[in-house]
Chain A
Amino acid sequence: AQKVTQAQTEISVVEKEDVTLDCVYETRDTTYYLFWYKQPPSGELVFLIRRNSFDEQNEISGRYSWNFQKSTSSFNFTITASQVVDSAVYFCALRGISSGSARQLTFGSGTQLTVLP
């Protein structure tokens, strides 16, 4: 069975602060994918990143960075110099590729990030 845990239900920061959203996962698959999605108040789900389990390089995209630690089964997401427009619910998700779990995204419960001006 797969499980994704986002222990932080809500986070509030002041604009320009850095913030890290935690994601811990469980899977029996040796190969899997990890995802982060952003859901702003309008409701659409915006794809941010996909990371393969065999690629442990950290990734940076503008103000966003991701820290994948296979040893601790974590895939944390950091926003540097946060902005009000970053306010949204952020979901971490996992997809294994073994038979029976192929292509099913398992989502965490989400973290509501509020960036205050």
Chain B
Amino acid sequence: DAGITQSPRHKVTETGTPVTLRCHQTENHRYMYWYRQDPGHGLRLIHYSYGVKDTDKGEVSDGYSVSRSKTEDFLLTLESATSSQTSVYFCAIRTRGSGNTIYFGEGSWLTVV
């Protein structure tokens, strides 16, 4: 599992509330990613990070922000959750010395009611 832990694994929240998902890695990898998975859309990149305090937007970044204050943690925040953000969120890391191998965490199921 490349040492990736996502939390919480399941969450139900109300529209308009802030939500933070955490991705924690234990192997000091530089690159970390947040994807969302929705039926009919596959997996789409929200934000990614290429180092501490270095982040950039993916293809579906509207309504999301991220932070990476230390190597091991990459946080995804929904400032004001909406029903369209009900999804499964996956964190991923790129391992060093293995070409472009990217591994995924087990996912965080978020329901916005």
Task: Say whether A associates with B.
Answer: no
> Which B residues lie at the A interface, using CB under 8 A?
none
